[in-house]
């Protein structure tokens, strides 16, 4: 489990961190020092939370409003399987904003052979190369409009 799924893009506060330590004493508790030093006061997400943060963002408040803007609360696999357009990774079109997927993990293709993905508590959100990460498929993220 990726324990940076603490807030789907909202700022990690001390009170939220305490709540998550109680909820996941081994996972979050074991990384408490690292989380405090690196992530407290910053926006935090897991892989699908990165996409949800985009979809749920309220520009009026600067907050993520749970399951808003027509985007359901789906996991990485659910999001991939709910897509109306998808394919194997070797057929990915050059469209920025597509999701790239492997079982249990999802990222966002930014074009030119690169992906933005949340790699976990120790790494955060990073840019990686499309090749060599084990991506199995691509999809148009449900609830997002792709104008070409």
| Residue 23 three-state SS | helix
Identify the residue with better confidence: 30 or 3: 30
Considering the domain delimited by 14-139, tell me its CATH architecture. Alpha-Beta Complex (3.90)
At residue 28 the predicted structure's pLDDT band, cuts being 50, 70 and 90, is confident
At residue 93 the predicted structure's pLDDT band, cuts being 50, 70 and 90, is very high
Q: What is the value of pTM for the model shown? A: 0.89
Q: Which residues pair with 146 in a beta bridge?
A: none
* Phi, psi (rounded to 5 degrees) for 110: -110, 5
Residues 66-90 have pLDDT tens digits of 999 999 999 999 999 999 999 999 9
Average confidence score pLDDT of the chain: 91
């Amino acid at each position: 489990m990726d324990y940076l799924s603490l807030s789907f893009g909202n700022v990690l506060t001390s009170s939220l961190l305490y709540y998550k330590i109680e909820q996941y004493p081994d996972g979050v508790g074991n990384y408490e020092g690292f989380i405090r030093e690196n992530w407290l006061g910053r926006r935090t997400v897991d892989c699908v939370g990165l996409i949800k943060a985009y979809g749920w963002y309220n520009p009026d408040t600067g907050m993520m409003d749970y399951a808003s803007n027509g985007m359901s609360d789906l996991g990485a696999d659910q999001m991939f399987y709910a897509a109306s357009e998808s394919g194997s990774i070797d057929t990915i079109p050059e469209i920025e904003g597509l999701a790239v997927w492997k079982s249990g993990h999802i990222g966002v293709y930014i074009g030119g052979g690169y992906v933005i993905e949340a790699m976990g508590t120790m790494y955060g959100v990073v840019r990686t190369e499309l090749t060599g990460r084990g991506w199995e498929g691509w999809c148009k993220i449900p609830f997002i409009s792709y104008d070409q």
